[in-house]
Chain A
Amino acid sequence: MLLRKNYRKMTGRFVLSVGILTCLALPAWALEKDLTVVTSYPKDLTTAFKQAFEKQNPGVKVEMLKKKTTAGVKYIQETASNNSSDLFWASAPDAFEVLKGDGLLAKYTVKAVGIPDLIGSYPINDPDGYYKGFAGSGYGMMWNTRYLKAKKIPAPKEWNDLAKAVYHGHTGMSAPSRSGTTHLTVETILQGEGWENGWKLLKEIGGNFHTVTERSFGVPDGVNSGQFGVGIVIDFFGLSSMASGFPVDFVYPTVTTLVPANIAIVKNSPHPEAAAAFIEFLLSEAGQEMLLDPKIRRLPVRPETYAKAPKDFPNPFIDKTIGAKVKFDVVKSKDRYNLVNSMFDVMITYRLDDLREATKAVQDAEKAMAGKSNAEAEKLVAEARALIAVLPIDENKSLDNEFSAIFKKKRKKATDKVTGRQAEVEQQWDTMVKSNYAEAIKLAKKAKSML
């Protein structure tokens, strides 16, 4: 009896609670959602702009749909046939390039005036007029002060510092294939240092990595919790971590890269006017000033806004070391986008253990060599270093459109032809890289044993 009653009671209650919950949730979809913004930006930023914009435009409601950049792109691609998004708002220009290439963005001409063409050496707006830069960010290094103190490691100042043996196993970075802004940094290094030297530097830095993180936020997260000491991050990650009270510090190296942050109207946007208004608000003086908030911390694209900035706020329009050294070639970057990512993954991300071991062996040998002179050992170590640096393809090949198409092969028409398969090519590279790292370890160990 009792049991039966209880059973009934439970069922009853359950049905009731489901009913109540359903009613609670009804307004969720009954609400009018006017402007839908697909964005990768954190809450602090999106909420501030949402509130300010809604206040300025009564009657318009903004829906901030947060997706990781890659997922956001995928989302817009997959829903294109029945689009319900108005704006795409994220940092990485290449994400916009992909959407533009797929014909999923709408052209828009900004009405606001007073915004220069370049920030640092990087063009603020898409030359084709599809996406607009509204802010910039610089790349730098953040570190955990407790970590460095406990392990007696000096704070880094320049990119090259991270290649030093003292940082072995203490640094972290996100993979360029996972984070558009990281890709931009990698590409900047490749363009600034040259193809060969750029990769050499990247591998030297990579050989010290504790981790290559999957999310770009994984890097500040790792430094904040002390998993590793130093991370290569975009400035606002470092600065907002400091602002949140973590025992961390941040520097721009003397030569840094500037990453623009963009916004674009999605093709067939259901509310193009509200979308345009949002862009104009973002670029207005009021909108630009909001970027100075320590929790948001982006570099405005309006030079005059910097007058209202706190004292040590970097100003790329005056300080030419920020992002000015490299003349960034957008077309080049775009053409070999996937290829560079794939190379990074094959040589560094997926072979991190091998690379790390090889780097360690070389560093150990060099340490043993310090102060001594042994020509043969030096030669072996140099050979080992060279082996680590060997690249599967040269720069010309990287710019060979037919070759890099293997990595895109987004066939638009059935007649589009691509030769070769990514998996096949990557396997060849992997075999080569793996055996080179193994050989380098052998040489370095041999060198060390000679001392």
Chain B
Amino acid sequence: MPRIRTSYLVASLLAFFLLIFLIVPVGKVIYVAFQDSSTGALTLVNFVDFFKTSLFRESFFNSLYVAGMSVLIASLIALPLAYFTSRFNFGGSILIQTLGIIPLIMPPFVGAVAMQLFFGSNGSINLLLDQWFGINIPFMKGLNGVILVESIHYFPFILINLSAALNNIDRSMEEAAQNLGSSGIRLFRKIVFPLAMPGYLAGAALVFLKAFDDLGTPLLLNVNNMLAPQAYLRISSIGISDPMGYVISVILVVFSLFALWVSMLASRGKDYSGGGKGVSGLLKRDMRGWQKAGAYCLIIFLLLLVLSPHISLVLLSFGTIWSYSVLPDAYTMAHYVEVFGTTREYITNTLLYAGLAASFDVAFSVAIAYVVLRTKVIGRQWLDYIATGALAVPGVVLGIGYLRTFNDFNVPIIDKPLASWWVIIVVALAIRRLPYALRACTAALHQVSVSLEEAAENLGAGKTATVRKIVVPLMAGGIVAGFVTSFATAAVELSATLMLVTAESDAPLAYGIYVFMQSAAGRGPGAALGLIAVVVVAFGSYLAHHFIERNKRMQATLTG
């Protein structure tokens, strides 16, 4: 049958791409983990060493602890935001939702510096606390700092997924419960939240994974005894090829996949969305005076908390000198003048790279989601698993892997190694951000009833036409969401790109920030550049959000 052949063809293309740009490069780097360093023979002795070494065991548990606590704190931040905006008629819901996503766009280096200036042991908050009460709270000390930064940074994953799930609940479910006498928080706890559980779990799993694997945050807070920094420190030291770095990478990858698998098991058979024929989205109610005031206070507090790195970034970018004081000494436009004067191409490069990478990601994700959910290709689940596994591959490992794999391959016409062509940066970004787009697109396709596709085929549309005219438009919301997440996070990605930039003229923003942040005078311009990144990306996501909301209103019902 032709349709089987086509689906196998598409699946093989997808698999081939993942093989070339993910498995082979990563394999080339981490096979060292399975090699006896003295004889070169295959062995598992390095893994034995890992578990025998107390530092690594400690790091493992620290990473686990940080990831767990981050999920907890991130949930505490995301739950009220999701609840209030989806449950009540609330002025500025879209604004809140958009602001709630900004923390995902934390530019490298400056983000951590900004957090230190605010929450650090001698940051604004502690200076004030010391002045007023004579106390000092170690927000940023050791693992606390990592947990704080990770939860603020990644809670939007829970917010996005949970809000989406809440908005997809069939209203009759809630009405039935009300009809049987349930209301308020009880209703939310017993009916609404369980129905939104798969969305919450998907978000929580992402937060867990990112906090578990994240390298930048612990490194910039100088916390060494966690897995990711241990891997990085051991991989990137001069002249050392200590296999432990790669062992840790393998363990990170395996453990992350395990966490994903557990979250998938936990939500299996619990996906209730999209099945009903009623109006989806919770019944929105008006709040009474004091309730409203209370809710606004809570939301404003949470937004202030999660936006504090960005608020601090604004101060940093306009401030002259900010050192051991609550606020900068004075304000100036000079940093922006410098940035616009010298580094415009960083911005255009970033838009190009992140835009291409995110477009590629959504296209690839739609294809994978389609193959996985709509075809019978044997082993199709593995496309999903492997693509999602990219989440767990440290950026440095991918960067080194690309150098190793593609340096000897000269691109025809331009005649230079693929590894030093700017396109490879796009590919690296795309692979690193693929999992985000994939989750969004898979969820979106889940919600498209198969009969809508069958109806198109029945009327004479082939698979391709059906996908193009029916499936993709119906997935638009998810595709846009996936695009935004991939784009926003790719725009500030550092680790892999730093390794792959071979010419300043090809460099993206993150590299520019890195360069600025290497000198004392560069802090202000670095912050300015970081803020520009945030503003550009945030504006993009606001537009996308707007689009999704309208889309949703248009198709309020009938997805049965």
Contacts and interface: CB of A to CB of B under 8 A. Distances in A.
Direct touch of chains A and B (CB < 8 A): yes
Nearest to A38: B502
Contacts of A337: 239
Contacts of A178: 233, 237
Given A44-B521, A245-B320, A295-B521, A426 B53 contact: yes
A252 interface: no
B520 A240 contact: yes
Most buried by A among B53, B324, B499: B324
A75 B163 CA distance: 43
Interface in B227-243: 229, 233, 236-243
Interface in B391-409: 400, 403-404, 407-408
B503 A63 contact: yes
A72 to B, nearest CB: 9
Most buried by A among B38, B243, B499: B38
Interface string A421-433: 1111011001100
Nearest to A247: B323
Contacts of A253: none
A324 B241 CA distance: 34
22 contacts: A3-B550, A3-B555, A18-B352, A24-B348, A29-B421, A43-B516, A65-B504, A79-B417, A81-B407, A146-B323, A150-B324, A214-B222, A225-B323, A226-B324, A226-B325, A337-B239, A345-B233, A411-B37, A421-B38, A421-B49, A426-B55, A427-B49
A146 B239 contact: no
A-B pairs, 8 with minimum CB distance: A226-B324, A78-B403, A423-B49, A42-B519, A241-B520, A98-B239, A146-B324, A244-B521
Interface of A: 2-4, 6-7, 10, 14, 17-18, 21-22, 24-25, 28-29, 31, 33, 36, 42-44, 63-67, 69-71, 73-75, 78-79, 81-82, 84, 92, 94-95, 98, 101, 144, 146-147, 150, 177-178, 180, 210-214, 217-218, 220-221, 224-227, 237, 240-241, 243-248, 295, 337-338, 341, 345-346, 349-350, 353, 407-411, 414, 417-419, 421-424, 426-427, 430-431, 434
Given A28-B505, A240-B519, A409-B37, A21 B355 contact: yes
B420 interface: yes
A422 B521 contact: no
B134 to A, nearest CB: 13
A78 to B, nearest CB: 4
Given A71-B499, A411-B40, A426-B53, A220 B237 contact: no
B410 interface: yes
A369 to B, nearest CB: 28
Contacts of B410: 82
B553 to A, nearest CB: 9
Nearest to A78: B403
Given A82-B419, A150-B324, A214-B233, 18 more contacts: A7-B473, A18-B355, A25-B352, A28-B503, A28-B506, A71-B498, A71-B499, A82-B410, A92-B238, A177-B237, A178-B237, A220-B520, A221-B113, A227-B121, A227-B122, A245-B320, A408-B240, A426-B55
Contacts of B224: 212, 214, 349-350
SS of A interface (majority) = helix
B40 A338 contact: no
B424 to A, nearest CB: 12
Interface of B: 37-40, 45-46, 49-50, 52-56, 113, 116-117, 120-122, 142, 219-220, 222, 224-225, 229, 233, 236-244, 320-325, 345, 348-349, 351-352, 355-356, 359, 400, 403-404, 407-408, 410, 414, 416-417, 419-422, 473, 476, 498-499, 501-506, 511, 514-523, 547, 550-551, 554-555
B239 A73 contact: yes
B236 A74 contact: yes
Contacts of B519: 42-44, 217, 240
Contact of A427 (B45, B54, B348, B547): B54
A125 B401 CA distance: 34
A82 B408 contact: yes
Nearest to B56: A423
Given A66-B518, A71-B498, A214-B222, A18 B359 contact: yes
A95 B239 CA distance: 8
Most buried by A among B355, B404, B520: B520
A120 B250 CA distance: 46
A421 B194 CA distance: 50
A213 B555 CA distance: 53
Given A147-B122, A247-B321, A422-B244, A225 B407 contact: no
Contact of B420 (A79, A220, A245, A414): A79
Contacts of B53: 423, 426-427, 430
A427 B56 CA distance: 9
Contacts of B345: 28
A417 B520 CA distance: 46
B120 A227 contact: yes
A430 B554 CA distance: 63
Most buried by A among B233, B237, B355, B550: B237
A98 B237 CA distance: 11
A214 B220 contact: yes
Contact of B504 (A14, A66, A74): A66
Given A44-B519, A421-B45, A28 B403 contact: no
Contacts of B236: 70-71, 74
A418 B38 contact: yes
Contacts of A227: 116, 120-122
